[in-house]
């Protein structure tokens, strides 16, 4: 009799705490599983967002028209001796060069290499309100814009101080006879992928 009571007690003291621990553990595992599922869903959503943002993120190519616009306005402002506006545009170019460096460190460093001295000369001319020095600095600068375009393999992108009225200042091209390259057609295939209408819209 005593022996069986002892046995029951022993089993209870051994088993009950063990069962409680096992229950707590499986609850914890279930909670963690729910958390992992929910995190997986969040990560998948974030991946989609990053993919979309990556597809539309600014690049050197998309930022350049902004540089060009400010460059031309700076030029005309200097011509009109509107030094406050010229200075404002110059700082706009400085800022854009910083953004370019953020999105493409290599090209950003290259652009700064080509333009740093020009910007200093333009800045000095603006500071002293010296029209001749400004003309000289901006003429040198436009040469460096185009030198970099040649260096990156886009020699047809020719910025000019006397743009024809018929061409956009933001998208400067020297018009010349040319044939469509196979590579170019390939690029358009990518563009079409991005231009597919959104489902339901």
Q: Which residues bind ligand HEC (CB under 6 A)?
A: 60-61, 64-65, 67-68, 71, 107, 110-111, 114-115, 141, 145, 148-149, 152, 154, 157, 159, 170-172
At closest approach, how far in Å is the CB of 127 from ligand HEC? Answer: 19
The conformation of residue 197, written as its DSSP 8-state character, comes to P
Rounded Cα distance, 159 and 136, in Å: 16
Question: Closer CB to ligand HEC, residue 83 or residue 93?
Answer: 93
Question: Closer CB to ligand HEC, residue 86 or residue 159?
Answer: 159
Rounded Cα distance, 167 and 80, in Å: 22
At closest approach, how far in Å is the CB of 46 from ligand HEC? Answer: 29
Among 174, 179, 181, residue whose Cα is nearest residue 160: 174
* Contact (Cβ atoms closer than 8 angstroms) between residue 174 and residue 156: yes
Question: Closer CB to ligand HEC, residue 74 or residue 83?
Answer: 74
At closest approach, how far in Å is the CB of 85 from ligand HEC? Answer: 16
Question: Closer CB to ligand HEC, residue 69 or residue 82?
Answer: 69
At closest approach, how far in Å is the CB of 74 from ligand HEC? Answer: 9
What is the token pair recorded at 35?
């958390």
> CA distances (Å), 146 to each of 53, 79, 98, 149, in order?
30, 21, 19, 5
């Amino acid at each position: 009799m005593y022996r069986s009571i002892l046995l029951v007690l022993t089993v209870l003291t051994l088993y009950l705490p063990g069962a409680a621990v096992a229950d707590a553990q499986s609850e914890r595992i279930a909670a963690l599983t729910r958390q992992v599922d929910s995190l997986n869903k969040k990560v998948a959503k974030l991946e989609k967002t990053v993919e979309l943002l990556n597809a539309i993120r600014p690049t050197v190519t998309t930022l350049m028209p902004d540089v060009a616009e400010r460059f031309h306005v700076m030029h005309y402002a200097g011509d009109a001796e509107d030094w406050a506006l010229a200075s404002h545009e110059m700082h706009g170019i400085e800022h854009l060069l910083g953004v370019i460096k953020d999105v493409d460190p290599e090209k950003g460093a290259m652009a700064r290499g080509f333009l740093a001295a020009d910007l200093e000369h333009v800045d000095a001319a603006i500071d002293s309100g010296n029209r001749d020095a400004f003309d000289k600095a901006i003429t040198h600068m436009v040469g460096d814009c185009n030198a970099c375009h040649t260096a990156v393999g886009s020699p047809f992108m020719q910025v000019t101080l006397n743009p024809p009225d018929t061409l956009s200042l933001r998208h400067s091209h020297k018009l010349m006879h040319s044939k469509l390259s196979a590579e170019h057609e390939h690029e358009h295939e990518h563009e079409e992928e991005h231009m597919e209408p959104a489902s339901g819209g």
